[in-house]
Amino acid sequence: MSAPAPPQPTRATVTTIRADGSRQFLYPADVRGRFSRARRLVAGLFIALYLSLPWIRIGGYPAVFLDVAHRRFHLLGRVFAAQDLWLIFFLISGVGFGLFFVTAMLGRIWCGWACPQTVFLDHVYRRWERWLDGDGVQRRELAAAPWSAGKVGRRAAKHAGYLLISAVLTHLFLAYYVSLPVVWSLVRAAPGAHWSIFVFIALATGALYFNFAWFREQLCIVICPYGRLQSVLTDEHTLTIGYDTARGDCIDCLRCVRVCPTGIDIRQGLQMECIGCAACVDACDEVMDRLARPRGLVRYDSLAGLGGQPTRWIRPRVWLYAGLLAAGATAAALAFASVRPAVLSVSRMIGAPYYFDRDSVRNQILVRLINKRPDPVRFTLTVSGLPPGFVVGGNDRPLELAPLQEDVRLLVISEPRAHFASGAVLVIGADDDRGDRLARPISFLGPGTALP
Amino acid sequence: MTPPPPEPELRPHTYDGIQEYNGRLPNWWLWTLYAAILFAIGYWSWYQWLRLGLDGPARVTRQLDEIEAQKLAESAAAHLDDATLWALSRNPVVVAAGRRTFESNCVACHLPSLRGKSENPAAIGPDLTDQIWIHGGRPTQVLHTVTTGVPVKGMPTWGPILGPQRISEVVAYVMSHHHEGEPIVPAAP
């Protein structure tokens, strides 16, 4: 039995959407070659990284543990509290500018080599599909074949595998948020003991299953905004995958079309659907090797390079994006360095700004401390910048704060009235038992002080 | 090369020399639109037609009522009577909690011994262990003094800072140094 004719890609249409709007499924053929090997290696490293982060422990906590329940975020041994959420701005802008830079230089290298959608689709789900149902032609034949007991069995096995993989991935994904021991205890408990989590996991598993079993390249082509940005981020000197029209020795074997996971014909030029996976490069090289012709009819090159011009790597766009990236990275580094493990705020106590009688002038200062560390911390309050004669009451005992606890303490600071002079600034310090120090200034007020 | 399939039809309009193809949306995309329409009909029926769900203002009113109820429940602690406060002052758990709050916030003026000016004439706060009371010595009066403060003399308004529960605990701690029925000597203000 022969497979039905595969689709004919054109530049004007999306291959996977037929003229009547229905879905054209793709059955990309296997490909071997240097880029496929390298891509598989990179994908293996990424999958190992994604799956091992919850298992690696740094400083007593998983390397990445986004503990939403306690609003505490562990990243590679550092702990962030909900108060530090503003750092996400710098993280996202840094990643964004990094993507600008990489895209201007190397095109959609992220999509083809590192994006979780590609990594898990090409190297997990499609591997399982390939192992069960064979190469592209066999899969297309099976899809076109009438329903039989054998086909039902094969399909049931395939989708059961997809569901199993999705469930495993979802549970490991959940471990990023609740940690592995909690995942394990949730798995062993009856669903009725925690319905909301059970339903969430079921829905997330369903979403992953739908995405990787059916939706696939539609995410890259229709949903993901990054592919659309390519046309403004890249230019004729950006590294892309292209077809050397000048060579003119294409034998029209369509091998590059058969292996394409988004269903385009790379010979028609750079297109929005191209995720830069280099499957067509390997496919063409293999054919050229067999024909004893030089490799590189389809190759990684810039549009300028494909047109016979030299590729200019350094150009204004690259400077601009590199400058933005450097600025973003610097701002992010400064922001992350400024995060302190506690919050100290100092304010004047409700009531009069100061009290005085014949002998003394008194200020009452409310100190508020929040412990952002994951364990209890003991703070010692100090008041410095005092001229002689000051008396401080209220700080003779350290302040013990449980994780995320917040407490206030009243400091009563008085000075003999005869010594009082305007303009004294006190520094309220909080030293914790880990050697960290926070400090805030506050002015000492009294009769005749001009309020700032 | 194999002959390419025919180009899709072009829409008639032209803007700045740009024309667009008359391609169809993917069907799955249209289904998300249909699903959203169905959801909107269901949503409208639920809230606007059958009125089974609470509408916005009603929901806000309900939430405000819940906050109000919670506040009332909390302030029940602030409306404690003398007998209850005396009972709290004999409860070691409450007294220990009150002691922690006292040591964080009150010792600056009243000293850890609670004896204030009696122990050290330079201290700011009066003695809380003797039977002389400036602002009333019944537990509810002490509670009132702590909550509203005596701003002219520097006793802060603790109500908004500590909240009713911690205030009742700290009053219980102070009253644990006294006995029900002991004499109360009003002091000259």
Three-state helix/strand/coil letters over A138-187: HHHHHHHCCCCHHHHHHHHHHHHHHHHHHHHHHHHHHHHHHCHHHHHHHH
Query: Would the CA dihedral through A70, A374, A53, A335 be positive or negative?
Result: positive
- Model pLDDT, residue A2: 55
Which of the four pLDDT bands, split at 50, 70 and 90, describes residue B58?
confident
Q: Cβ of B26 and A351 within 8 Å? A: no
Residue A125 has pLDDT above 90, yes or no: yes
> Residues of chain A with pLDDT > 70: what percent?
98
Mean pLDDT of B133-139: 90
CA B85 to chain centre: 23
Residue A1 has pLDDT above 50, yes or no: no
> ipTM, 2 decimals?
0.75
Report the residue from A17, A222, A410 with minimal CB separation from B105.
Answer: A410
The widest CA-to-CA distance across chain A, in whole angstroms, is 109
Cβ-Cβ contacts under 8 Å for A334 (sequence gap 6 or more): none
- Model pLDDT, residue B48: 84
The tokens describing A293, both together, are 């012709």
Residue A340 has pLDDT above 90, yes or no: no
A379-383 long-range contacts (CB < 8 A, ≥24 apart) are A379/A342, A379/A430, A379/A431, A379/A432, A379/A433, A380/A430, A380/A431, A380/A432, A381/A409, A381/A411, A381/A428, A381/A429, A381/A430, A382/A428, A382/A429, A382/A430, A382/A431, A383/A411, A383/A413, A383/A426, A383/A427, A383/A428, A383/A429
pLDDT tens column, A37-65 = 999 999 999 999 988 999 999 878 899 99
The owner of tokens 């490991």 is A172
Kind plus residue range of the DSSP H or E element containing A74: strand A72-75
Q: How close B68 gets to chain A, by Cα (Å)?
A: 24
CA A349 to chain centre: 43
Contact of A207 with chain B, judged by CB distance below 8 Å, is answered with: no
| DSSP summary character for residue A451 | P
How many beta-carbon pairs under 8 angstroms link A with B? 97
Q: Cβ of A412 and B109 within 8 Å? A: yes
Q: Cβ of B154 and A362 within 8 Å? A: yes
- Model pLDDT, residue A446: 85
- Residues A210, A77 contacting (CB under 8 angstroms): no
The owner of tokens 């908004």 is B160
pLDDT tens column, A397-438 = 888 888 878 888 888 888 888 888 777 888 999 998 888 899
Measured distance CA(A111)–CA(A234) in Å, rounded: 14
Residues of A in contact with B7 (CB under 8 A): 10, 12
Put simply, the chain B residues between 29 and 88 with a CB less than 8 A from any chain A CB are 29-30
Put simply, the chain A residues between 340 and 359 with a CB less than 8 A from any chain B CB are 349-352, 355
3-state secondary structure of A360: strand
Residue B55 has pLDDT above 80, yes or no: no
Report the residue from A352, A364, A407 with minimal CB separation from B104.
Answer: A407
pLDDT tens column, A166-217 = 999 999 989 999 889 999 998 898 888 888 889 999 999 999 999 999 999 9
The owner of tokens 């004294």 is A424
- Model pLDDT, residue A85: 87
Query: Would the CA dihedral through A156, A158, A162, A164 be positive or negative?
Result: positive
**In one letter, which amino acid is A322?**
A
Mean pLDDT of A56-83: 86
Residues of A in contact with B1 (CB under 8 A): 250, 252, 267
Contact of A407 with chain B, judged by CB distance below 8 Å, is answered with: yes
Contact of A168 with chain B, judged by CB distance below 8 Å, is answered with: no
